[in-house]
Amino acid sequence: MTRYDRKAVSAFDAKTHLSSLIRDVEKGNSYTITRRGRPVARLTPVEPPAAESVRELLEGFHAVRMRVKGTGGIRELIDEGRKR
């Protein structure tokens, strides 16, 4: 089964076999939980944040920090903001 295939499981069976389903989900499987045959929820793996996205975010913070260089420390900036 590919990581995007979904198996249907009843709410009762999901409750009864939750530990087993979670182990399966950790392996990349997904389940649709049904009640009276109607889909009501999905049990899917959590996607970790992409390392590239985190790296890009940190680089963006660094770029902003370089553009906003001040001559004083944080306390001076806070005090200056209070005067305005």
DSSP string, 44-79: -PPPPPPHHHHHHHHHHHHHHHHHT--SS-HHHHHH
Residue found under tokens 């370089």:
66
pLDDT tens by residue, 21-31: 999 999 999 99
Topology classification of domain 6-43? YefM-like fold (3.40.1620)
Residue found under tokens 């076999």:
17
CA dihedral 47, 53, 55, 59 (to 10 degrees): -150
Q: Give the model's confidence band at 55: pLDDT under 50 very low, under 70 low, under 90 confident, else very high.
A: confident
Average pLDDT over residues 32-46: 95
**Is the pLDDT at 34 greater than 70, yes or no?**
yes
